[in-house]
């Protein structure tokens, strides 16, 4: 507990007199340094969280959260998955049968290796993520030899809505020239643009319910795709299905390098920006050290009046900690406010200085993403408070060791 006398002294030390201008300046810089450090850390982590969410959402536009391979019976496997999700209380968006086939596409203008992604027409029409990315054509034509193709791939092949493409199958047919791959003709019914180069450049989506003849040679390429309400639960489901006879992979497994790179970048950025708070905390050490030096006589008098070393230690520790705590609270408010209005601030700066900040044609995002993650803010706050509390220990211990006899010897 803090006694009234201790509280009065702490309050006085937090408001230096005019003649103690240096202390006032150091206190202000300590406050601002810690506040700006915390705010910068929150803003950067929020923007990085926003980028991560946007990139993962785009990545999962065509990639499932969980993929199941080498299963024997689709209906039996689907029932097992549904029961597991229900027991784990995990909500799923869909559990669909799909195909993923690597093949060669031939047109009048070009040939190219592509990935054929097979979906049922019902699943295709119900997939809002795909439908929102259709830039041309009629999605209702999907099926009956009509396919949906990526915008970059369409340009490379020189085809658009209504044009035909030829896909070479792995099945062979006997001809006078020998065994040649079977050919299947499809028409472009719609064109999509996801904003992710890999998908726009390599993927063709077709209807499996009207392509039985084509798919007869690709039994091993079928899989079950599971989409969850929360993609972060994919690892839980994967681990729960690991004991089954079929193979299970999560979206993290399929994008291991990309996911690890995002995680490492986030952690490294957190460590680097934490150094700002550490540097700012040195101002607290400097300020308290000068305060102890200037208040040596006062400390000696307080000890003579009966204040214990513990009480003196507490006074200076709380003084430094208060500056750090106030700076942390200021930084949290500033950081959260900036993160919440980061897009408005970007638009204002772009307009005021006539410069393009965060160009959409480079980042494929119409606005700067920002996602406030409260657990991260809590960690930042605790780290900041710990650093400032740590910085207040040495000067407070030094103040408690003041010898009143030595200090008042010549007074």
Q: What is the residue-wise DSSP string for 45-83?
A: HHHHHHHHHHHHHHHTTTS-SEEEES-S-HHHHHHHHHH
pLDDT at 332: 93
Under DSSP, is residue 168 helix (H, G, I), strand (E, B) or coil? Answer: strand
pLDDT at 19: 58
Q: What is the CA radius of gyration of the chain?
A: 32
| Both tokens assigned to 276 | 């700002």
Return the closest-CA partner of residue 158 out of 109, 103, 104: 109
Q: CA-CA distances (angstroms) from residue 178 to 101, 166, 174?
A: 24, 20, 6
Q: Which residues of the chain have pLDDT under 50?
A: none
Distance from the Cα of residue 130 to its chain's centroid: 22
pLDDT at 231: 85
Residue 157 · residue 107 · CB < 8 Å: yes
pLDDT at 359: 63
pLDDT at 333: 94
- The H-or-E segment that residue 228 falls in is strand 222-228
* Placement of tokens 């950067």 in the chain: 44
Cα 343 from Cα 44, distance rounded (Å): 14
Cα 220 from Cα 136, distance rounded (Å): 33
Residue 105 · residue 165 · CB < 8 Å: yes
For every residue of 226-280, DSSP letters joined together read EEESSGGGHHHHHHHHTTSSSEEEEHHHHTHHHHHHHHHHHHHHHHHHHHHHHHH
The pTM (predicted TM-score) of the whole model is 0.71
Which letter, b or e, does each residue of 224-257 get, where b requires 16 or more Cβ atoms within 10 Å of its Cβ? Answer: bbbbbeebebbeebbebbeeeeeebebbbeebee
């Amino acid at each position: 507990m803090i006694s009234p006398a201790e509280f009065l002294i702490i309050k006085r030390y937090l408001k230096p007199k005019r003649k103690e201008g240096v202390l006032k300046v150091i206190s202000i810089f300590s406050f601002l340094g810690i506040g700006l450090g915390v705010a910068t850390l929150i803003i950067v982590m929020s923007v990085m969280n926003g980028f991560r969410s946007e990139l993962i959402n785009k990545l999962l536009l065509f990639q499932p959260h969980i993929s199941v391979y080498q299963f024997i019976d689709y209906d039996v496997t689907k029932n097992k998955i549904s029961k597991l999700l229900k027991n784990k209380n995990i909500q799923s968006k869909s559990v669909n049968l799909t195909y993923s086939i690597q093949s060669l596409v031939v047109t009048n203008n070009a040939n190219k290796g592509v990935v054929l992604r097979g979906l049922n027409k019902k699943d295709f029409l119900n997939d809002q993520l795909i439908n929102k990315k259709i830039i041309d054509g009629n999605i209702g034509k999907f099926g009956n030899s009509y396919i949906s193709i990526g915008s970059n791939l369409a340009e490379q092949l020189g085809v658009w809505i209504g044009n035909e493409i030829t896909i070479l199958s792995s099945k062979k047919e006997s001809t006078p020239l020998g065994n040649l791959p079977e050919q299947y003709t499809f028409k472009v019914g719609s064109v999509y643009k996801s904003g992710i180069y890999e998908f726009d450049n390599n993927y063709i989506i077709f209807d499996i319910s009207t392509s039985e003849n084509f798919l007869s040679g690709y039994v091993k390429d079928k899989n079950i795709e599971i989409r969850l309400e929360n993609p972060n639960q994919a690892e839980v489901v994967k681990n729960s299905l690991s004991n089954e006879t079929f193979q299970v992979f999560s979206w993290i497994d399929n994008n291991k390098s990309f996911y690890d790179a995002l995680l490492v970048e986030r952690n490294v950025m957190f460590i680097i920006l934490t150094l700002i708070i550490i540097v700012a905390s040195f101002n607290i050490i400097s300020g308290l050290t000068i305060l102890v030096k200037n208040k040596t006589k006062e400390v000696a008098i307080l000890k003579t009046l009966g204040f214990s070393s513990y009480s003196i230690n507490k006074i200076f520790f709380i003084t430094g900690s208060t500056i750090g705590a106030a700076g942390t609270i200021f930084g949290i408010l500033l950081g959260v406010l900036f993160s919440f209005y980061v897009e408005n601030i970007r638009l204002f700066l772009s307009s005021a200085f006539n410069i393009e900040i965060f160009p959409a044609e480079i980042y494929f995002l119409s606005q700067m993403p920002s996602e406030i993650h409260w657990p991260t803010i809590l960690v930042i706050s605790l780290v900041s408070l710990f650093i400032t509390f740590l910085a207040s220990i040495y000067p407070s211990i030094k103040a408690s060791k003041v010898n009143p006899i030595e200090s008042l010897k010549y007074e």
